[in-house]
Amino acid sequence: MRATRMSVVDFWKNETKGDGLNVRVAHGVNSWPDLVDQLHEPFLNKSMMIEGDVFMQAHRRPRHRAVPVMKADTKIADRITFKEWLREVATMHKAIKINFRSNEVVRPVLQDLYASQADPTSPVLQYPVILHANVFRSPRSVETEVDPSTFVEKTKTLFPDATLSLGWTKQANFSHLHPKFKKLSWRQLFHILEYISRLDQPVMLSIRLSVAAHSKEQLLWLLGMDQSISLLLWSDSDDHITNWTPILELRSATTKNRILYDLDPKHRKFLKVETNENIVTPATFSLQDWQTVEFSSSGSQLSTVVRSEKGPAFLGEPTALLLSKIPPPKFPSQQKISGKVHFLPKKLAENVDLDENSGVSVFLMNKVQDIDSPKIKNSLEVFIGFDGKVKITNGEIKNLPYYETKSIGQLPDSDCYGFEITDSGWKVRIDAWTDSCGEKAEKMRRRRTVSLELDTPFKSTRNLRNVVVAKKGDAAMDFLLEELRHSSASSFSLISTLFFMVSTFYLFL
The tens-digit pLDDT sequence of the chain (509 residues) is 445 566 666 666 666 666 788 888 899 999 888 899 888 887 656 788 899 999 987 655 555 567 899 987 666 556 899 999 999 998 888 889 999 999 999 999 999 998 887 777 777 787 889 999 999 998 888 889 999 999 999 999 999 888 999 999 988 778 778 778 889 999 999 999 999 988 888 899 999 999 999 999 999 999 988 888 889 999 988 888 889 999 998 888 766 668 889 999 999 989 888 766 666 677 789 999 999 999 987 777 788 999 999 999 999 999 999 999 999 888 888 999 999 999 998 865 455 567 888 999 999 988 887 788 888 888 899 999 999 999 999 886 666 667 888 999 999 999 899 999 999 988 999 999 999 886 555 555 678 999 999 998 877 677 889 999 999 988 889 999 999 999 875 544 444 444 445 455 555 55
Q: State how far the Cα of 149 lies from the Cα of 82, in Å rounded to an integer.
A: 23
Position 281 in a domain: no
The residue among 211, 245, 273 that closes a domain is: 273
- For residues 237 and 368, state if they share a domain: no
pTM, full prediction: 0.87
- Cα–Cα distances in Å, from 78 out to 70, 83, 188? 11, 14, 41
| Domain contains 503 | yes
The CA distance from 116 to 460, in Å, is 67
* Alpha carbons 206 and 199: distance in angstroms, whole number: 17
Shared-domain flag, residues 300 and 257: no
Residue 100 lies in a domain: yes
Which of 73, 384, 192 has its CA nearest to residue 393? 384
The HSE-up count of residue 406 (CA atoms within 13 Å, CB side) is: 11
Of the candidates 215, 483, 474, the one whose C-alpha atom is nearest the C-alpha of residue 345 is 474
Integer Cα distance of 441 and 433 in angstroms: 13
Q: Which of 273, 299, 326 is the last residue of a domain?
A: 273
C-alpha dist (Å) from residue 98 to 123, 125, 133: 17, 13, 8
Q: What is the pLDDT of residue 350?
A: 53
* Three-state secondary structure call for residue 306: strand
Position 495 scores a pLDDT of 44
Domain membership of residue 1 (yes or no) is no
Residues 219 and 313 in one domain: no
R_g of the chain computed on alpha carbons: 27
310 and 253 share one domain? no
Task: State whether 314 and 256 are in the same domain.
Answer: no
Least Cα distance to 182 among 164, 162, 208, 161 occurs for: 208
Determine, yes or no, domain membership for 482.
yes
Domain end point (choices 273, 308, 330): 273
- Tally DSSP H helices, then E strands, for the chain: 11, 23
Q: Same structural domain for residues 265 and 295?
A: no
Do residues 84 and 186 both lie within one domain?
Answer: yes
Please list, in sequence order, all residues whose beta carbon lies within 8 angstroms of the beta carbon of residue 470, skipping any fewer than 6 positions away: 314, 318, 320, 321, 322, 360, 361, 363, 374, 376
Q: Are residues 191 and 296 in the same domain?
A: no
Q: Give the pLDDT confidence score for residue 460 in this predicted structure.
A: 65
* Alpha-carbon gap, residue 394 to 398, rounded angstroms: 9
Task: Compute the distance between CA of residue 218 and CA of residue 191 in angstroms, rounded to an integer.
Answer: 12
Range of the domain at 100: 8-273
CATH number at 264 reads 3.20.20
Query: According to the model, what pLDDT value does residue 493 have?
Result: 44
Report the alpha-carbon distance of residue 503 to residue 9 in Å, rounded.
Answer: 60
Query: In this structure, are 466 and 320 located in the same domain?
Result: yes
Same domain, 268 and 291: no
d(CA 453, CA 428) in angstroms, rounded, equals 6
- The three-point CA angle 124-130-135 to 5° equals 145
State whether 311 and 202 are in the same domain: no
pLDDT number for residue 466: 92
494 shares a domain with 382? yes
Residue 279 lies in a domain: no
> 14 in a domain, yes or no?
yes
Q: How many domains does the chain have?
A: 2
- What is the C-alpha separation between 481 and 467, in angstroms, rounded? 15
Q: How far apart are CA 109 and CA 115, in angstroms?
A: 10
Q: Where residue 306 sits, what CATH number does that domain have?
A: 2.60.120.200
First to last CA, the chain: 74
On whether residue 268 sits in a domain, the answer given is yes
